[in-house]
């Protein structure tokens, strides 16, 4: 038998009383809640612990969809119950969400295309002596229609879309001397290439009192189908086309656009003209 000092008996008695004293009511409730949560695999939807969504405030409950989804997850976690229905519900919820996003983005994409697909290009070709000028919408459905690479419009055709008209007046197939004379810093074309100049007129036929800045785009397409832009080379074109100054109703600007093109097939290429922003391309011959 263990011997105790008589002086330590009061302290031992006090410690025994503390150890044997029952837990306070709040502590018992907390322990009971923890056991309930553990037994139900994290299911906190009891009356004592309602599920709350804390992302938008401490007292906001989750919505009906999230509530149902959470219930299905709890159903899968619970033991001793059939899980087939809960698993099927989770799969349907996930698939439904994915399908909803796909449909949403498809609708938005179609609306975007409808809003910006407003190009209505028309072309008036120059008339032969004694004939009236021919005009019509540029149809690019097949390769044999006029205005395509296979059948481009002739020089001098007036291409119209909305508030803008573009006319390719003339083309200089070999403009090496003119480009070299314009600026001493213009580099000579590499072997097998040459500078081509397209003289273009852009006219504003809108009525905006503030005027508008040209957004026409002219590019050269080689016989092999490669696109050449004027900014592909650093050369400065003589009498360059000004597309930075605003134009007012009836005003026009005329100038040259230069391209560095293959010498062997320079005459077989075409000019792709877009009169305005988001316009369809209309092809014009270079000879």
In CATH, what number is assigned to the domain containing residue 150?
2.60.40.1240
**Same domain flag for 251 and 208:** yes
| b (16+ CB within 10 A) / e for 58-87 | eeeeeeeeeeebbebbbbeebeeeeeeebe
**Same domain flag for 78 and 213:** no
Looking at the predicted structure, is the pLDDT value of residue 84 above 90?
Answer: no
Most confident of the following: 4-8, 14-18, 83-87, 181-185: 181-185
Host domain of residue 81: 26-113
Indicate whether 14 belongs to any domain: no
**Same domain flag for 263 and 157:** yes
- Number of separate domains in the chain: 2
Looking at the predicted structure, is the pLDDT value of residue 83 above 80?
Answer: no
**Same domain flag for 109 and 233:** no
Q: What's the pLDDT at 100?
A: 81
**Same domain flag for 222 and 96:** no
Indicate whether 62 belongs to any domain: yes
Predicted TM-score (pTM) of this structure: 0.59
Indicate whether 266 belongs to any domain: yes
Q: What's the pLDDT at 108?
A: 67
Q: pLDDT (tens digit, 9 = 90+) per residue, 235-285? A: 999 999 999 999 999 999 999 999 999 999 999 999 999 999 889 999 999
User: What are the backbone dihedrals phi and psi of residue 136, each rounded to the nearest 5 degrees, phi first?
Assistant: 175, 170
Q: pLDDT (tens digit, 9 = 90+) per residue, 145-203? A: 889 999 999 999 999 999 999 999 999 999 999 999 999 999 999 999 999 999 999 99
Q: Which residue has the higher pLDDT, 112 or 167?
A: 167
Q: Which of 63, 80, 113 is the last residue of a domain?
A: 113
CB 173 within 8 A of CB 165: no
Q: What's the pLDDT at 91?
A: 79
Name the token pair of 224: 């092999």
H-helix or E-strand spanning residue 85:
helix 84-116
Indicate whether 207 belongs to any domain: yes
**Same domain flag for 39 and 167:** no
Average pLDDT of the residues in 29-45: 64
Q: Which of 113, 147, 165 is the last residue of a domain?
A: 113
**Same domain flag for 103 and 235:** no
Residues constituting the chain? 287
């Amino acid at each position: 038998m263990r011997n105790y000092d008589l002086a330590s008996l009061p302290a031992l008695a006090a410690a025994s009383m503390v150890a044997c004293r029952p837990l306070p009511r709040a502590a018992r409730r907390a322990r009971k809640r923890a056991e309930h949560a553990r037994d139900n695999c994290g299911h906190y939807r009891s009356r004592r612990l309602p599920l709350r969504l804390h992302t938008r405030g401490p007292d906001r409950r989750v919505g009906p969809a999230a509530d149902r989804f959470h219930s299905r997850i709890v159903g899968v976690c619970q033991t001793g119950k059939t899980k087939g229905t809960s698993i099927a519900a989770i799969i349907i919820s996930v698939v439904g969400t994915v399908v909803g996003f796909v449909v949403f983005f498809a609708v938005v994409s179609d609306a975007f295309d409808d809003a910006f697909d407003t190009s209505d290009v028309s072309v008036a070709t120059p008339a032969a002596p004694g004939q009236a000028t021919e005009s019509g919408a540029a149809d690019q459905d097949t390769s044999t229609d006029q205005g395509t690479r296979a059948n481009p419009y002739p020089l001098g055709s007036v291409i119209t879309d909305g508030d803008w008209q573009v006319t390719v007046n003339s083309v200089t197939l070999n403009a090496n001397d003119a480009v070299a004379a314009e600026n001493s810093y213009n580099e000579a074309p590499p072997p097998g290439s040459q500078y081509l100049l397209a003289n273009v007129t852009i006219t504003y036929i809108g009525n905006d009192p503030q005027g508008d800045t040209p957004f026409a785009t002219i590019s050269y397409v080689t016989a092999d189908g490669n696109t050449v832009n004027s900014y592909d080379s650093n050369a400065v074109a003589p009498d360059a086309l000004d597309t930075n100054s605003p134009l007012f109703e009836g005003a026009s600007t005329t100038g040259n656009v230069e391209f560095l093109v293959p010498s062997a097939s320079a005459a077989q290429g075409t000019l792709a003209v877009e009169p305005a922003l988001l316009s369809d391309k209309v092809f014009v011959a270079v000879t």
